[in-house]
Amino acid sequence: MKPYKNLASVGLILSIIAMWFAPFVPVVYAANLTSLSDTMSTVKVSTLSNHDISFVTPTGVAASATIILTFQSDFSVAAAMDFTDMDVLDNGTNVTLASSPSGTTWGAVRTSSTVITLTNGSAAVTAGHTIRIKIGTNATNQSTGVRQITNTTSTGTKTVTISGTFGDTGTISVGIITDDTVAVSGTVNQTLSFSLSANTIAFGTLDSAAARYANTSSGSASDTVAHTLAVATNSQSGYTVTVKGATLTSGSFTITAIGSSPATSSAGTEQFGIYATKSGGVNGTIAAPYATGSSFGYDATGTTATTFASGTSATNTETYSLHYLANIASTTEAGSYTTTLNYVATGNF
């Protein structure tokens, strides 16, 4: 019996040796995808949406391997969707797509109303790379996509499952809601601001030998700013400032207004007039006859308003500086001469 026992021992030893030196055959196991996301253009129920799917593949994608995207049953992939409505990026670099793979070109097809199948070409994707898949009008690499996926007909958490012969698998959850929009409103009121820096100005005593210029005290012998007016508005069509009022008057006597043709000061001749300059703002302009520096005019009356200045768009404050001139003749009737000028700003809303 001993020889048989020895033979059995030898056989066991040989079997162990054979197993030890047998060639190693690697076994490939499927891995779980990581960093999964699906950014949708809208999550409103029953609404067309783009999808921007991204994931990291631990295994990579071998040549000719498939990646299958399966949307939950109540999603609906447009019947005519094809590779022109998709972009596929390998670690940020777009791959070329066609209806079927050829060389390094990938195939991209709608397999059913809930399935899209991508088939790699001849260039394997390296393990650890990020795959990004754009579906819909957000696909712009080879052409701009025109077809999209219709969201589920019911609300709640829905899934997109990633599988295929490339080996890795994963599931992305998305939330579909009744309405993903928020209506926001606000009102901007019309604004028009208008101010005068002074409401009383004077020439003082008039003399036919020299011109007088108005200011806020007793007048001046030299040209000066009597007061300013300022206007601002948010009207996109701007504003208009008018002036109305008679010339200097004492009872039935008047000092002749210069009129619509600007003129420089002429001592010894009856003259009443205004000119203005502007600062700040956008595009306000001074109307004739008030726009010529050192030349005066006045063509309004006590009953008729005329345009003094205007702007054609919304503006920050525009400031107009007004200069007033009075001259008399040696025969001008004695008296206390006054007038009241009415400046009105109107927004062109």
- Is there a domain that residue 323 lies in? yes
CATH number of 101's domain: 2.60.40
341 shares its domain with 286: yes
Mean pLDDT, range 295-324, rounded to an integer: 97
Relative to beta strand 106-112, strand 97-98 is: parallel
Residues 157 and 58 in one domain: yes
End of a domain among 176, 209, 234? 176
Asked, for residue 4, whether it belongs to a domain, the answer is no
Share of residues in the chain with pLDDT > 90 (%): 91
Residue 275 tokens read as 């000119």
Q: Check residue 15 and give its pLDDT.
A: 45
Specify whether 232 is located in the same domain as 291.
yes
- Average pLDDT score over residue span 43-49: 98
Inter-residue contact 90 to 67 (CB < 8 Å): no
Whether residue 82 sits in one domain with residue 133: yes
Contact 59, 113 (CB under 8 A): no
Judge whether residue 256 has pLDDT over 90. Answer: yes
Task: Name the domain boundary from 147, 176, 205.
Answer: 176
Pair (95, 160) in one structural domain: yes
In a domain, 67, yes or no: yes
Q: H/E element holding 68?
A: strand 66-71
pLDDT at position 1 over 70: no
**Is 18 within the bounds of a domain?**
no
Structural domain harbouring 79: 34-176
Residues 6+ apart with CB under 8 A from 197: 227, 228, 229, 230
Residue 273 domain-assigned (yes or no):
yes
pLDDT reported for residue 288: 97
pLDDT at residue 30 in the model: 73
Q: What is the pLDDT of residues 174-192, one digit of tens each?
A: 999 999 999 999 999 999 9
Element (H, E) at 150: strand 149-150
Shared domain for 196 and 343, answered yes or no, is: yes
pLDDT at residue 18 in the model: 38
pLDDT of residue 29: 57
The residue among 176, 203, 238 that closes a domain is 176
20-36 confidence digits (pLDDT tens)? 344 433 344 579 999 99
Tens of pLDDT, residues 198-242: 999 999 999 999 999 999 999 999 999 999 999 999 999 999 999
168 and 263 within one domain = no
Q: Domain tally for the chain?
A: 2
Across the chain, mean pLDDT equals: 93
165 and 254 both lie in a single domain:
no
Residue 156 lies in a domain: yes
The answer, yes or no, to whether residue 330 has pLDDT greater than 80, is yes
Q: Is the pTM of this model over 0.75?
A: no
State the average pLDDT over residues 137-152. 98
pLDDT-wise least confident of 1-5, 119-123, 170-174, 329-333: 1-5
Q: Is residue 13 part of a domain?
A: no
Q: Quick check: is 186 in a domain?
A: no
- Give yes or no: residues 115 and 211 share one domain: no
